[in-house]
């Protein structure tokens, strides 16, 4: 387990790099934290560090967004906040995405606990105050 504090938005890029380094070789990255903790903001910074060329935004209504980087790699970004049950995620083929070999960033994955792979990396974001966040990778 790795834990650190991201004290400001100015530190976001370095915090994103720490997460990338800790998650190398893993394909499902589960971001947890309360509403407004900065999950999408952190994913946007991670995507930028990885060279994603597409606009990164929360897929709240579409459930999943697909992004590409400069090298042609594909990344999937999920937001399960609005699903009613796990069956909705099954119906959209989430398990195939998770097994695709592409990195999958998952927000609100705790709403689909039976579908999250056992080797998923959990990144917990805990707001400490208006600007700083404690980040735990486990």
**Is the pTM above the cut of 0.75?**
yes
Q: What is the largest CA-CA distance in the chain?
A: 40
Domain extent at residue 36: 2-137
- Read off the CATH number of the domain in which 25 is found: 3.40.50.300
How far is Cα 108 from Cα 99, in angstroms, rounded to an integer? 19
Instruction: Give tens-digit pLDDT for 70-123.
Output: 999 999 999 999 999 999 999 999 999 999 999 999 999 999 999 999 999 999
The phi and psi torsions of 71 (rounded to 5 degrees) equal -90, 0
Q: For the chain, how big is the Rg over CA atoms in Å? A: 14
Q: Structurally, how many domains does the chain consist of?
A: 1
18 is written with which tokens? Answer: 């720490």
């Amino acid at each position: 387990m790795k834990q650190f504090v991201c004290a400001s938005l100015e530190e976001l890029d370095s915090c994103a790099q720490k997460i990338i380094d800790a998650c190398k070789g893993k394909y499902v990255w589960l971001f947890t934290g309360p509403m407004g903790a900065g999950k999408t903001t952190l994913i946007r910074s991670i995507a930028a560090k990885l060279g994603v060329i597409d606009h990164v935004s929360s897929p709240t209504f579409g459930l999943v967004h697909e992004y590409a980087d400069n090298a042609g790699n594909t990344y999937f970004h999920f937001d399960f906040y609005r699903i009613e049950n796990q069956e909705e995620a099954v119906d959209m083929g989430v398990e195939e995405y998770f097994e695709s070999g592409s990195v999958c960033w998952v927000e609100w994955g705790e709403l689909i606990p039976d579908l999250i792979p056992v080797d998923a990396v959990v990144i917990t974001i805990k707001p400490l105050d208006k600007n700083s966040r404690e980040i735990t990778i486990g």
